[in-house]
Chains A and B, each alone.
Chain A
Amino acid sequence: MNYTVVVGLEVHVQLLTASKLFCACANKFNPDNPNVQTCPVCLGLPGSLPVMNRKAFELSLKTAMALDCGIARFTKWDRKQYYYPDLPKAYQISQYDLPYSHDGHLDVKTDDGEGVRRVGIIRVHLEEDAGKNMHDESGRGQDSQVDLNRCGTPLMEIVSEPDIRTPGEARRFLEEMKLLLTYIGVSDCNMQEGSLRCDANINLHIPTDDGGHVATPIVEVKNMNSIRNVELALEYETTRQFREFQETGVKLGDPGGNKVTRGWDANRNVSFEQRGKEEASDYRYFPDPDLVPVTVTEEQLDAIRGETCELPTPRRARFQSEFGLSEYDASVIIDQGPALADYFETVAQGSDGKQAANWVTQDVLREMNERKVDIDEFAIRPDVLSSILKRVTDAEITIKSGREVFAALLADADADIPISIKRIDRIIEERGLKAVSAAGELEGIIATVIERNAQAANDFRNGKQAAIGRLIGEVMRECKGADAKAVRAMLVDELSK
């Protein structure tokens, strides 16, 4: 049946600040040492007061601007009241009716890989994270444990419009979001450590005979700890909701058709109903009297604009136009993150774009994987690789020799020999890799070799194709850097005269 899947995502992102949002405790993932990153403020001790972290606010602004949001010139902080042991003040400082940003968007590829889906961003707001509760899972009803290391760390909440139409789009939305956030350096987006968390709202619009549609009850899916799990959970929910609708016919808003929360069991690949909250929540938002509003000026926004790097989408386009890359190659590089893209750019600027793309996406990525290092730790720095490639494009050495130099440099690095451009020259010289293809040098050698091997030359002229092998071999011995193919071509030329 041709129903429409309607998905909206709510993403929580931890910001990369040194200290927490309202106090000077470290903002650091530290689950093995519980309750060592706390102070009177984040413990919610009586009398303590919050003071806003400037960096956290700036990173939030940067994010909202990267998502093309409108930025409020006046924003304030509200208290959201609820009781939970990981929330020691029994309210979360968040933003209610005047968030600092609104109405942005993020573009993602549709499932066919051709189209673009523009997903609206309703708002991005800044709030404090809660601590962490550890539940006793033995079933014996032991106490739960509370660790407040994370309590009060800065958290951005990004809420999308329900514009996403397939589980695959949801995955790509999160991948693109993660890429964007790591690109601009506001978060490490590590889902295992909880720096990026996602809740998904999903329901189906099922067409009716009169040309309209009915909506199934909205389900909020929680506890998904990887992007892949979000996709799987949404696939599961799509099927489940459709089946349930066929069985029960319950629509959104019907009795029993209210929004429900389901958890995702990643081991069994099923979603499960979470115990319905027996009580409706009433968060009683009101402006936090302990914090004062923040105003934002055009100059401030300009400054942030000025220090924000190029974003993934425009950069992808530029790599195609400026370096002649295919969309695929551009994406492979950009999707690896800003460090690899920067690396690529340095390489490409000094050589040839397509060559650089080939080398970076194949040789460099392969060697990085093998050595399990990040691009920042990769021994061959981009200026060095650029220099190798330049020699190839200048036909100073052959591609094959280029790879030999590359391998030799890595071997050096593995043996702790420092790598530099000078080292390239040394390797080329030691191994006699200098190409002779250019210039009369090779021509001269070829002439000499033909002269020296008149018999073989004649055999070839007389149709004995294999005879040329001997000539090629001899030329190659004479000049190591030569490209065999080119040598063959030149020999054929010469012998056909």
Chain B
Amino acid sequence: MTISGSTATELLARLESGESSSVEVTRTFLNAIDRQDETIGAFLFVNSDAALEQARAVDEKRAAGKSVGSLGGLPVAVKDVLCMRDTPTTCGSKILDGFRPPYDSTVVERLRAADAVIIGKTNMDEFAMGSSTENSAYKVTRNPWNTDHTPGGSSGGSAACVAAGMAPLSIGTDTGGSIRQPAAFCGVVGMKPTYGRVSRYGLIAYASSLDQAGPLANDVTGAAALLQAIAGHDARDSTSVNRPVPDYLCGLDQPLEGLKIGIAKEHFVAGLDPEVESTIREALGVYKSLGAEVIDVTLPHSKYAVATYYLIAASEASSNLARYDGVHYGHRAESFTNMVDMYCTTRSEGFGEEVKRRIMLGVFALSEGYSDQYYVKALQVRRLIRQDFDRAFADVDVILAPVAPTPAFKIGELVNDPLAMYLTDIYTISGNLAGIPCLSIPAGFSDAKLPIGMQLYGPAFSEDRLLRAARMFERVAGLSTLSSRLS
């Protein structure tokens, strides 16, 4: 098996046995980027020199018999929404062109501490606003399975680079489905952890009460290992939860006995592609054959999730993105008539259409006379959505659902219809509103040979359960997600 066709676990075994060095592994992936990224466009910045240097350091550490971190020498790609010291961090936006943070995000810090080799920063929808990675100010990312299609978004670069074998692992962020949907579109495993499980310090905010970073990998074990490295309390994030992190890897291969799987009728409604639906039903069959019990649950407020989400996310975003004004960092317009005009011109030049649209929506939803009707109302419905899940999880261990209504759509297909684009997040958004963990795992392929994912929802802090449930399926269904099948 080739290096770039291996899972993270296989690579780690090679590194540990000395069969391959980190430099060798890193170089292989850098070469894969060289070869393919012109076509795929997954990376905004390739960290070649620093990555090789880091790899060399890990190799030396290992050779000297020193203890090596849990990701010892494995390349990891990081979504460009996470700050990395002295390294370009753009969030896919022109307004942060040239920005080099003077600090590392906690996720990056933990990756370094685990001896991961940070291979590059991946493309994304500008400020994580989008579901197709077409909203990047820099480039469009293509789906490695079919380059006419989008990789999904906003973590499209992170999903595509793993699917294309340009990195074995990557970090994405998920505010309304931005890890899970691209993972599904690209046929890789992706997880949005419980809100508060992974520190947001250094994660450039889109919607602070929904944003969460998480792992993407070409198998469940890789995702578990990567989550292990980044999860845990951080005193620099007031919303980070101080609660021990379980060992996600031990017991991962042990099937869950008497697993109760919930199915919500609200997840199988008009607009759901029949191929997606049948894939989910087949997956359910696989679980049944493994002894799982399937129970109907109801999530009556599901149909309000998209509206709730867009109001809350846009409101928070309008505030979070107010800071990009050309004063302290980032882009500043060249010509303007006065200070207010400098602000307005800078922001109008620096932000793309979709970002402006959401800022406008958010400012409107928070404005005097409207905030009760829009913003506060959405917060109330959010609680009802959360309560739906609480009730459902009293009866079941996990809820199985589609990730997206369709397989990857075509590039350009939805760009002019924002509302239709928003509706592609219909199955993922509730997880962010409720703050609960959810995982996307490849479950099949469409006739057009595009991957189809399925989603597992769990109660807060049940990441270990979700990973084990996913692994149960993966072991049996054996859907390899590797890009080697591409070449």
Contact = CB atoms under 8 A, between A and B. Distances in A.
Interface of A: 40, 43-52, 79, 81, 83, 85, 88-91, 144, 146, 282, 284, 286, 289-292
B471 to A, nearest CB: 32
A81 B328 contact: no
A90 B323 contact: yes
A43 B328 contact: yes
B343 A292 contact: no
A49 B318 CA distance: 17
Question: What are the 9 closest A-B residue pairs judged by CB atoms, nearest first?
Answer: A90-B322, A289-B209, A289-B208, A284-B366, A46-B204, A47-B202, A47-B83, A47-B204, A282-B368
B91 A284 contact: no
Given A282-B368, A289-B209, A48 B202 contact: yes
Given A284-B319, A289-B239, A46 B367 contact: no
25 contacts: A40-B101, A43-B329, A46-B329, A47-B83, A47-B101, A47-B201, A48-B201, A51-B235, A51-B237, A51-B238, A79-B319, A81-B319, A81-B366, A88-B323, A88-B327, A89-B323, A91-B322, A146-B327, A284-B367, A286-B366, A286-B375, A289-B239, A290-B208, A290-B239, A292-B239
B288 interface: no
A52 B328 contact: no
Contacts of A284: 318-319, 363, 366-368, 371
Interface in B192-249: 200-205, 207-209, 235-239
Contacts of B201: 47-49
Nearest to B201: A49
B409 interface: no
Contacts of B340: 83
Contacts of A282: 367-368
Nearest to B322: A90
Given A47-B203, A49-B200, A289-B239, A85 B327 contact: yes
Interface string B399-440: 000000000000000000000000000000000000000000
A43 B330 CA distance: 13
A93 B10 CA distance: 48
A292 B319 CA distance: 17
Nearest to A281: B368
Nearest to A88: B328
A50 B340 CA distance: 27
B316 A289 contact: yes
B96 interface: yes
A81 B103 CA distance: 26
Contacts of B7: none
Given A282-B368, A290-B239, A46 B99 contact: yes
Contacts of A90: 319, 322-323, 325
B63 to A, nearest CB: 35
Interface residues of B, number: 43
A291 B238 contact: yes
B262 to A, nearest CB: 29
A83 B325 CA distance: 9
Nearest to A131: B328
B315 interface: yes
A44 B328 contact: yes
Interface in B296-340: 315-316, 318-319, 322-323, 325, 327-329, 339-340
Contacts of A290: 205, 208, 238-239
A144 to B, nearest CB: 8
B82 A81 contact: no
A90 B326 CA distance: 11
Contacts of A79: 319
A59 B326 CA distance: 36
A50 B323 contact: no
Contacts of B315: 286
A51 B323 contact: no
B105 interface: yes
A332 B273 CA distance: 84
A51 B319 contact: no
B205 to A, nearest CB: 7
A49 B238 CA distance: 8
Contacts of A47: 82-83, 101, 105, 200-205
A292 B200 CA distance: 14
A1 to B, nearest CB: 39
A51 B367 CA distance: 27
A292 B322 contact: no
A43 B238 CA distance: 18
B368 A40 contact: no
Contacts of B236: 49, 51
A292 B237 CA distance: 10
Contacts of B323: 44, 46, 88-90
B90 to A, nearest CB: 10
Given A40-B103, A43-B328, A52-B238, A83 B200 contact: no
A85 B102 CA distance: 20
A284 B205 CA distance: 18
Contacts of B204: 46-47
A319 B315 CA distance: 56
Contacts of B83: 45-47
B337 to A, nearest CB: 12
B318 to A, nearest CB: 8
A46 B328 contact: no
A45 B237 contact: no
Most buried by A among B237, B319, B329, B366: B319
Interface in B465-485: none
Contacts of A50: 238
A44 B102 CA distance: 12
Nearest to A291: B238
A290 to B, nearest CB: 5
Nearest to A143: B339
A29 B327 CA distance: 23
A88 B237 CA distance: 19
Given A40-B102, A46-B323, A289-B316, 7 more contacts: A40-B103, A46-B99, A48-B103, A81-B319, A83-B340, A85-B327, A291-B238
A50 B343 CA distance: 25
A43 B204 CA distance: 14
Contacts of B101: 40, 45-47
A40 B101 CA distance: 8
Nearest to A279: B340
Most B-side CB within 10 Å, residue of A46, A49, A286, A291 = A46
A171 to B, nearest CB: 36
A182 B483 CA distance: 69
Contacts of B237: 49, 51
Contacts of B319: 79, 81, 90-91, 284, 286
Contacts of B328: 43-45, 88
A51 B371 CA distance: 26
B256 to A, nearest CB: 33
Contacts of A51: 235-238
A50 B235 CA distance: 10
Nearest to B90: A46
A436 B91 CA distance: 90
A85 B332 CA distance: 13
B400 to A, nearest CB: 30
A85 B329 CA distance: 12
Interface string B84-124: 00000101000010010111010000000000000000000
